[in-house]
Structure 1
Amino acid sequence: MVVSQIESNLERTFHKSKWVDFLRQYGPIPRNDNMYDEVIQRNLKTKKIEPIIFETEYLDELINNFKSTSPKSVILTGTAGDGKTFCCREVWEALGGAREIWEQDITIRQLNLDNHKLYIVKDLSELNNEDKIRILTLMADSIINFSSDQIYLIAANDGQLIEAWEQAENTDNVIKVRKIIEELLVNDQQEDLNYNLRFYNLSRLNTARMFTKILDAVINHSGWQECQKCYYHNPPNLNEKCPIWENKKRLEEKHWNNILRERIIDLLQLVELNGIHLPIRQLLLLISNMLLGHPEGKDKLLNCKIVPFIVDNDKSYLSSIYHNIFGFNLSERKINSIEVFKVLNSFGIGKETSNQIDNILIFGKDDPEISHYYHKFLKNDSFYGTSKNFIIGQKSYLEGDLIEEKNNFLKILISQRQRLFFIIAKDEEENLNFWNLTIFQFAGEYLNKVYKKLKNNEKVSQNIIGRLAKGINRIFTGMLVNNFNEIIIATSGSYSQAKISQVYEESIPVRKNRGEEVTIELEENHNIPTLIVYLSVIQNDIYPIKLTLNLARYEYLSRVAEGTLPSSFSQEYYEDILAFKTQILQKVKLRKKWEGEELETDNSLLINLLEMKDDGKAHPINMEVMICR
């Protein structure tokens, strides 16, 4: 339908870009993911386009290892799309392997090095069981035997890797290697010097850092030079500008003080700190969709041919990069099937808002107190801000037109809230309650005042630790206590998981006192903020108790402390904190045992009960219970 309209609507000259067509291949289009790398390489060759080149962590290490006089075998693991096939191919070509041989349908490739023979398996799942068992048995022998002249480069998804080694023949060497692989994977280590093996988990790559490298490679690609020949690249009327080019300009570092980039990177960093890994393939998909997304394009992506139709029918606003970031050009079913959009939409950006933000969007034009915001955030952006569609929708909404038209404007508001999230300047974040546009209202604090401070070897504010302690106390006791300078351990008498716990067991000061303390530190292996409770000990087996503070837990505790917990937080977070309480209680009881503390006498039992004072703080009071024998 759209294509037929285009054919009769081409009055201006446009240039069909091979680069734009190629970029669509990275987007959310139907494909066989098992052939992803092969399809991309074939398209590069057919269209004669330079590949998207960006620095890949570990690649130089891999190549240098195999070029050294004493190379080690290598296992590459990670999730699908982390770049394992890419690394294998780059190693093959860097060591002199022919591209023609790589492109052949071979599962085990061989390459003669100076003193070794290298075997490369780019995907362990492609091997039949017989070949898989044989190659892993031989690899185990070479890993144990440093003098072996055979070395291996094997790639496999993390789940497949463990499963494959479990299926391998139980030789002495296989059993040893199986154990060391599990240890390296669990401890996030790359090697044990006692074995001739290097282990790389590509799922540990920093998502935000990789996004920046990939984005720069896409935005600065030579293929964009083709666009210079197109009328829609720089038309006399700015509203005729190609939306693809407009989105590209907004992603460049110099545009809008780089806020758009920084906000995307912040979201990706928060996703990672929430324990979710996004592979390289998902980041490429995100970038392609940001640039090309449009609900009326083929596969919901623009190409050069459809641009004149989009421009002439005033539909460029539907290409908004700000809602393409969340996949809003796609169907809801498609969004939920793509990991990067699913996790970015978990922030609720566009659906969450505040009265202040919506007043700017709806009434700002005529309200002198906020009109400066309206002009700055909407009027100054006629392309995606005060587009013709927005003006018409706003007018209908304010004049009380049909219900259907009002509902359409409410949908437009979602897109505008998303846009504001990515353009509000840093010096205006606090005044506009910027993070209220997400369900994680403490996300900015978590990122900037906790994570980044810890990365810079700075301490987290005592006020923040105190608020988290207050939230913990409310869950531990089941009461709206206001204690923030200590963590209170309480039970119901015998059951630590009770909803209401008024039997006082112990308290741990937040500020350091006689070896006891509550701090926030970076967890060593996964680089995530961790709340740590230190107990003063007389025995070495009483270790600090740790609670990993991912974004969701941090938000949950902060909301509980503030007394405003939304329904979007599940029972899971509550149970996590109660499990943390049980760990502390076990250590407290163990310490009391070592200290020989005895609360029961022959005739009575001393119990401490929590009592709430007028200031909302809980204090223990002693109660002696007589025992009848």
Structure 2
Amino acid sequence: MANTFVSKWINFLRKYGPIPRNDNMYDEAIQRALKRNKIEPIKFETPYLQELINNFKSDFPKSVILTGTAGDGKTFCCREIWETLGGTQEEWGKEQKIQSLSISDKQLIIIKDLSEIQDGEKKQLLPEIAQSIVEPQTTHKIYLIAANDGQLIEAWNIANQDHNIQEARQLIETLLVEEKKQIQGFNLLLYNLSRLNNEDMFYQILDAVLNHSGWQECNECIYKDAANLHQRCPIWENKKRLDGNDDQQLMRKRLIDLLELLRHNGMHIPIRQLLLLISNLLLGHPDAKDKLLTCQQIPDILATKTAYLASPYSNIFGGNLSIRKRNKTDVFTALRYFCIGTESSNYFDNLLIFGADDPAMNNDYQELISKDPYYGEYEQFRIAQTRYLEENDLPETKEAFLSLLETQRQRLFFTIPEDRSSELNLWELTVFYYAGDYLEKICRPLKRRQKIPKSLISQLVKGMNRIFTGLFMNNPNELILATSGSYSQARISKVFEESISVHKKRGESVSIELNSEHNAPDFVIFLSSHPEIAPVQLRLNLTRYEYLNRVAEGALPSNFSQECYEDMLAFKTKILGQINLRKQKEEQMDDSSENEIILRLLELRSVESVLMN
């Protein structure tokens, strides 16, 4: 049975989802669909856009390079700037890789995608671009160039290597490596759109999608808010859950937590992938065409009682897609990094399996599972649960129920109330048990310019000491540096080299500070107040934070992450290098009186006794 109601908005929203497409024509295809269906664009504030427009409207505009990964919004920014400065949609829609526009006394040349320009044309263009950057007073041309970060430097190899080309290439390399926007003396601004925050962009895009006027079409649909729960449209159900009017936007907050954690772990999610995630979250269903629902399919989905397969909690991780398609989609690969659904604890599994009939767990079962008959205790789950308890020796019965358990764990992660998250150990549903602490006790306090308590730092130092020495040490107040005599990266290091006080002491201290350039936490070791003895820094990402806490709690370093272990030993080597530099400076400044020698020996003996014990 087909639905007579058809929403142009829903059909358009599918185009953002994980469907086959020519990515090189992505922006053009979206614009054609908007125009053809007379739909308002999805509008959200794009960082830097107004800044870019102001630059080109200024009396002394600079050339601009927009770089980043595919899908970061480079083409979108170019088109918005073009139209704002007086260019027409019709001209932009023509299949021309280069567009030009007169602004004041300058000619603005827009290159939509540098990688699309043939080598012969690049040889002609690049010297002119270099001239506008290095010698702007000699030309009336300025440029707006979109280029994927991997291709930006490579392009300059094609041009004849004259002075301007070499200067321009070196400038761009410096801006990329040092993550700067400009350097004085050059007429260029470089914007790396890959530095945009995952969570901030997601929040804006999600609001724009959920508040879009296209949803008004759904008021005509009989399945929107049907009196019978089992006759309600899963698309509208998913929208309501993302709106979060009934749970203070809990699902949205948890998803933003995950995106923020990914950013702190060095994973950037482009705007296009965020749009794909939202489309899949709202429309995903494994039995639908292209795995995304349309209005016409809703009656059949409801008739076959498979609406539960449209669970947004599973769609977040691409659960509606084939394994091959899911693994080829960056945002799902990133989100599945947390292993939500496959990770669990005895409590959660016992709750899902026995909670309905166990008096000790029944209250929790009612609150966390029965309360949600659409995606929680739906009919098929109860049937599978009963069969599992009665016939769990049958492989097909066991497999069917275990697959439902995975989606239930995913749902629990996004629905456990905030006031019970600590009590129920929410983050045990992920592979990162300390992820919640990392966000709430490290990242967000730093963002508010708050200091991190020494107790948290001491816990990390405890883990670091065990890695640096290979011994089961319990000293949280000093960072202990030891080697095997000459080799700093030996697994067991018993030869004491130096200790660094966690608390401020003679220029020494250990802290966690916000790296303002990367908007991320750094673990910082201060060795001296001498200006030439720079502190040693380590990016404290989620994986390293988890690793250090696990080791501090008793896990063996080699059993967790070889990459983390090697990172820590490399960090130890850097610290030892700065300590040697400190010793050299001390020898240059002072001949070391007898009293000072005695004090140092006492300190060393004190530490040695800790090591021996």
Counterpart Cα distance in 2 of 1:222 and 1:487: 58
Whether 2:469 is the aligned partner of 1:484: answer no
Q: Which runs of 5+ in 2 are unaligned?
A: 595-600
Q: Assess if the C-alpha contact under 8 Å between 1:73 and 1:197 holds in 2.
A: yes
Superposed, which structure 2 residues align to 1:446-461 within 5 Å? 446-461=438-453
**Over residues 10-33 of structure 1, what are the superposed CA-to-partner deviations in whole Å (9 max), with x where a residue is unaligned?**
4xx541111111111111111111
Q: Assess if the C-alpha contact under 8 Å between 1:483 and 1:618 holds in 2.
A: no
Q: Assess if the C-alpha contact under 8 Å between 2:547 and 2:561 holds in 1.
A: no
1:442 to 428, 434, 440: 434
Q: Assess if the C-alpha contact under 8 Å between 1:502 and 1:609 holds in 2.
A: no
Counterpart Cα distance in 1 of 2:102 and 2:70: 29
Q: Assess if the C-alpha contact under 8 Å between 2:482 and 2:496 holds in 1.
A: yes
1:39 to 29, 46, 68: 29
How far off is 1:473 after superposition? 0.5
**Over residues 237-272 of structure 1, what are the superposed CA-to-partner deviations in whole Å (9 max), with x where a residue is unaligned?**
111101011001111042322110000000000000
1:91 to 70, 81, 84: 81
How far off is 1:606 after superposition? 13
1:211 to 199, 202, 206: 202
Coordinate RMSD, CA, aligned: 2.1
**Over residues 387-423 of structure 1, what are the superposed CA-to-partner deviations in whole Å (9 max), with x where a residue is unaligned?**
0111101111222343311221111111011101001
Identity across aligned pairs (percent)? 55
Counterpart Cα distance in 2 of 1:375 and 1:234: 24
Structure 2 equivalent of residue 102 of structure 1:
92
How far off is 1:104 after superposition? 1.1
Superposed, which structure 2 residues align to 1:122-271 within 5 Å? 122-147=112-137, 148-271=139-262
Superposed, which structure 2 residues align to 1:55-454 within 5 Å? 55-147=45-137, 148-401=139-392, 402-454=394-446
Whether 2:490 is the aligned partner of 1:498: answer yes
**Over residues 34-63 of structure 1, what are the superposed CA-to-partner deviations in whole Å (9 max), with x where a residue is unaligned?**
111111111112222111111111111111
How far off is 1:546 after superposition? 0.7
How far off is 1:169 after superposition? 2.4
Counterpart Cα distance in 1 of 2:309 and 2:521: 39
Whether 2:11 is the aligned partner of 1:18: answer no
1:278/1:85 Cα in 2 relative to 1: closer, same or farther (>3 Å)?
same
Structure 2 equivalent of residue 519 of structure 1:
511
Which residue identity is paired with 1:577? M
How far off is 1:590 after superposition? 2.4
How far off is 1:568 after superposition? 7.8
**Over residues 330-389 of structure 1, what are the superposed CA-to-partner deviations in whole Å (9 max), with x where a residue is unaligned?**
111211111110010010111111111122222222223322211111111110001011
TM-score by length of 2: 0.95
Counterpart Cα distance in 2 of 1:90 and 1:253: 32
1:565/1:398 Cα in 2 relative to 1: closer, same or farther (>3 Å)?
farther
How far off is 1:593 after superposition? 3.1
Q: Assess if the C-alpha contact under 8 Å between 2:63 and 2:188 holds in 1.
A: yes
Whether 2:554 is the aligned partner of 1:563: answer yes
How far off is 1:434 after superposition? 0.7
Question: What secondary structure does 1:500 align onto?
Answer: coil
Counterpart Cα distance in 2 of 1:567 and 1:394: 39
1:378/1:275 Cα in 2 relative to 1: closer, same or farther (>3 Å)?
same
1:481/1:141 Cα in 2 relative to 1: closer, same or farther (>3 Å)?
same
Structure 1 equivalent of residue 597 of structure 2:
none
**Over residues 268-288 of structure 1, what are the superposed CA-to-partner deviations in whole Å (9 max), with x where a residue is unaligned?**
000000001110010001000
1:300/1:36 Cα in 2 relative to 1: closer, same or farther (>3 Å)?
same
Counterpart Cα distance in 1 of 2:224 and 2:45: 30
Question: Which deviates more from structure 2 when the two are superposed, residues 63-72 or residues 52-61?
Answer: 63-72
Counterpart Cα distance in 2 of 1:495 and 1:433: 41
How far off is 1:470 after superposition? 0.7
Q: Which runs of 5+ in 1 are unaligned?
A: 1-8, 600-604, 621-629
Structure 1 equivalent of residue 611 of structure 2:
618
Structure 1 equivalent of residue 38 of structure 2:
48
TM-score by length of 1: 0.92
How far off is 1:207 after superposition? 1.0
1:468 to 460, 485, 499: 460
Counterpart Cα distance in 1 of 2:608 and 2:63: 64
Q: Give aligned pairs, total.
A: 602
Counterpart Cα distance in 1 of 2:55 and 2:549: 47
Counterpart Cα distance in 2 of 1:344 and 1:568: 23
1:566/1:282 Cα in 2 relative to 1: closer, same or farther (>3 Å)?
farther
**Over residues 571-592 of structure 1, what are the superposed CA-to-partner deviations in whole Å (9 max), with x where a residue is unaligned?**
1110000000111111112222
Q: Assess if the C-alpha contact under 8 Å between 2:498 and 2:604 holds in 1.
A: no
Question: Which deviates more from structure 2 when the two are superposed, residues 365-374 or residues 576-585?
Answer: 365-374
Counterpart Cα distance in 1 of 2:563 and 2:456: 23
Question: What secondary structure does 1:294 align onto?
Answer: coil
Q: Assess if the C-alpha contact under 8 Å between 2:99 and 2:110 holds in 1.
A: yes
Superposed, which structure 2 residues align to 1:573-588 within 5 Å? 573-588=564-579
Counterpart Cα distance in 2 of 1:29 and 1:385: 28
1:288/1:270 Cα in 2 relative to 1: closer, same or farther (>3 Å)?
same
Q: Assess if the C-alpha contact under 8 Å between 2:506 and 2:529 holds in 1.
A: no
Counterpart Cα distance in 1 of 2:380 and 2:606: 60
Which residue identity is paired with 1:454? L
**Over residues 440-498 of structure 1, what are the superposed CA-to-partner deviations in whole Å (9 max), with x where a residue is unaligned?**
10000001100101111111121111111011101100111111111000011111111
Question: Which deviates more from structure 2 when the two are superposed, residues 175-184 or residues 142-151?
Answer: 142-151
2:581 to 590, 607, 624: 590
Counterpart Cα distance in 2 of 1:534 and 1:567: 28
Structure 1 equivalent of residue 598 of structure 2:
none
Structure 2 equivalent of residue 535 of structure 1:
527
Question: What secondary structure does 1:106 align onto?
Answer: coil
**Over residues 166-206 of structure 1, what are the superposed CA-to-partner deviations in whole Å (9 max), with x where a residue is unaligned?**
33322222222212211221222212231111111100111
1:295/1:593 Cα in 2 relative to 1: closer, same or farther (>3 Å)?
same
Question: What secondary structure does 2:248 align onto?
Answer: helix
Counterpart Cα distance in 1 of 2:289 and 2:558: 38
**Over residues 550-584 of structure 1, what are the superposed CA-to-partner deviations in whole Å (9 max), with x where a residue is unaligned?**
10111111111111359884311100000001111
Greater fraction of residues in helix: 2
Question: Which deviates more from structure 2 when the two are superposed, residues 481-490 or residues 561-570?
Answer: 561-570
Q: Assess if the C-alpha contact under 8 Å between 1:119 and 1:152 holds in 2.
A: yes
Which residue identity is paired with 1:56? T
Which residue identity is paired with 2:37? K
Q: Assess if the C-alpha contact under 8 Å between 2:514 and 2:521 holds in 1.
A: yes
Question: What secondary structure does 1:257 align onto?
Answer: coil
Structure 2 equivalent of residue 623 of structure 1:
none
